[in-house]
Amino acid sequence: MTEFKDYKPELIANKLKQVEEYEAKYGKSLRTKAIRKWCESTEYRKREWQFRQSVAEYAKYNAHKALL
């Protein structure tokens, strides 16, 4: 995948609803804060996607070095 493609709005809205239900039941946490930020910001989702792509690209050529 070479281009960022955002998730469908319905999926993002569903995830945000899950976060709100979780926070109502158990309270806020760093994890729910991060997921909420992911749901509310297209730029955040894009940067997170770029980060995952960079990690995968690094692993292609350098993961074997950790075994030495």
Predicted local confidence at residue 16, as pLDDT:
97
Q: How many domains does the chain have?
A: 1
User: So what's the pLDDT on residue 40?
Assistant: 96
pTM metric for this prediction: 0.78
Task: Report DSSP state, residue 41.
Answer: -
Question: Radius of gyration of the chain from Cα atoms?
Answer: 16
Tell me whether residue 32 is in a domain.
yes
Q: Is residue 44 part of a domain?
A: yes
∠ CA 55-57-62 to the nearest 5 degrees? 85
pLDDT score at 1? 65
Burial 20-57 (b: 16+ CB within 10 A, else e): eeeeeeeeeeeebeebbebbeeeeebeeebeeeeeeee
Residue 27 within a domain: yes
Q: Going by C-beta distance under 8 Å and a sequence separation of 6 or more, which residues neighbour residue 42?
A: 6
- What is the overall mean pLDDT for the chain? 91
What pLDDT score does 66 carry?
64
Chain segment 22-55, per-residue pLDDT in tens: 999 999 999 999 999 999 999 999 999 999 999 9
Query: What is the domain range of residue 45?
Result: 9-67
